[in-house]
Structure 1
């Protein structure tokens, strides 16, 4: 019964992931019907992840519990591709999000963020007008900047801000609006507008604040991906044992020493036998 242990483990693990894929797919479908702009970013990834997990789990469950070798073979193949894709995505995430971070502001608790400090791939992404238009609508709908409307000058000195609040809800601290100056100022100083619908949503500092949030979330996701990779590789190893057990069970012979597996002719056996018989008749 020991050789069945790997099949049982794979069966239970895939039953668990099969049930877990249902709320993932449901969440993606719910977001598809939602009119909130921000939720549309996660809609497609959730649906794709949900259906992939569903298919893999179903193939692994059938193959392990019913000794279907081809289902386990499909399961292991897709698992291998999934592990490779997740590994590539994790490495890419660490590389892309390594540059960045905020700059301390003298006399203030919060930090400010500069677009040039981030990776070229992220900058190209956030500079896309269509992409930024969607992000801007999301920021306006989140009322992030409205929380600062009641702040006093003392609050700006003693209170911290999120990257988006620092970049989108106020002009750069270095801006000088009190008097005329011939010293060149940050271009964001001229993009600033007091109107609630504009503020600094068109500033590079706002884009940098969004990238900082994205960078922080991506770092957390990359750490989670490493944990998931270890889990998937462990399941894949057990799945290989289950696949071997399923192939052996097809011979209808028990395990043990000095037992020979049932001989299964290759696909070309009968074709070669037919050709040899006809050749013998001719000669």
Structure 2
């Protein structure tokens, strides 16, 4: 039974080592596929994936070969990793919790408003330098290329992503036959130019934040699953550490492991 925990920790770390590969791949895929180039989402995911990969490798080697110092480092780093993932998860739920769209009567899509999101996200997205980077990514993704060709019937029946809803069209409440002074300021910022559209609108920034919010929620679910798995592995790792300490290589040279004061050599 003394080697059961070592075998189990080796198996579980082999499992988490394999899990870290799609986590890293997912972060790299998000970095290339997202329309907003939100690196502050992809970077933590990639870093977490590499840390889990290295920690799992250390735990696997330490448990299988009874390397005590490697298991000790493994347990310390594992504890730090669990605490970090918990902090990131709580941060995600607190900061990215507010938001969501508003239904548009008679339309299949929703519209998004900047004031619906947390102050931390609004401050970040309203930074001119940061917004220019995000705007360039949205423009380069050609997210609006199909939407600008839609007919009025399409707007009634088709759905829009948050970025398409906020960046590719003016707010539905805009009435260009009425005095502009009484309307949403985004109505002023709208342009038919494909390179301008509503990319400077607050609704566009809100659409980007909604896209970020949805990605954060997915990441938070992944974090919760990983935290639960890592806690189980951590406790099993503690048992493996104790087993490794009792292994032959752990005792100092010359130390006796004889427990009887007067051993009986003659069995007869």
TM-score by length of structure 1 reads: 0.79
Two-structure CA RMSD over aligned residues (Å): 2.8
1:165 paired with 2:131, answer no
Contact 1:37 1:134 (C-alpha < 8 Å) held by counterparts: no
The residue number in structure 2 matching 1:147 is 146
1:8 paired with 2:24, answer no
Could you tell me how far apart the structure 2 residues matched to 1:47 and 1:223 are? 16
The residue number in structure 2 matching 1:267 is none
1:114-263 paired onto structure 2 within 5 Å:
114-179=113-178, 181=179, 183-249=181-247, 250-251=250-251
The residue number in structure 1 matching 2:266 is none
Q: CA deviation at 1:21?
A: 4.7
Q: CA deviation at 1:157?
A: 1.8
Residue 3 of structure 1 aligns to a residue whose secondary structure is coil
Bigger radius of gyration: 1
Could you tell me how far apart the structure 1 residues matched to 2:155 and 2:56 are? 52
Do the aligned partners of residues 16 and 39 (structure 1) sit closer, same or farther apart at CA in structure 2, a change above 3 Å counting? Answer: farther
Could you tell me how far apart the structure 1 residues matched to 2:19 and 2:89 are? 22
Contact 1:101 1:113 (C-alpha < 8 Å) held by counterparts: yes
TM-score by length of structure 2 reads: 0.83
Residue 149 of structure 1 aligns to a residue whose secondary structure is helix
Q: Deviations over 1:166-191 (max 9, x none)?
A: 10000111112124x26521111111
Could you tell me how far apart the structure 1 residues matched to 2:105 and 2:147 are? 20
Q: CA deviation at 1:20?
A: 5.2
Do the aligned partners of residues 60 and 182 (structure 1) sit closer, same or farther apart at CA in structure 2, a change above 3 Å counting? Answer: closer
The residue number in structure 2 matching 1:56 is 55
Q: Deviations over 1:122-143 (max 9, x none)?
A: 1111112222122111111221
Q: CA deviation at 1:24?
A: 6.1
Contact 1:69 1:243 (C-alpha < 8 Å) held by counterparts: yes
Could you tell me how far apart the structure 2 residues matched to 1:76 and 1:198 are? 53
Unaligned runs of 5+ in 1: 253-258, 262-283
1:74 paired with 2:62, answer no
Could you tell me how far apart the structure 2 residues matched to 1:89 and 1:151 are? 40
Do the aligned partners of residues 18 and 146 (structure 1) sit closer, same or farther apart at CA in structure 2, a change above 3 Å counting? Answer: same
Contact 2:103 2:110 (C-alpha < 8 Å) held by counterparts: yes
**Bigger relative contact order, structure 1 or 2 (CA pairs below 8 A, ≥6 apart):** 2
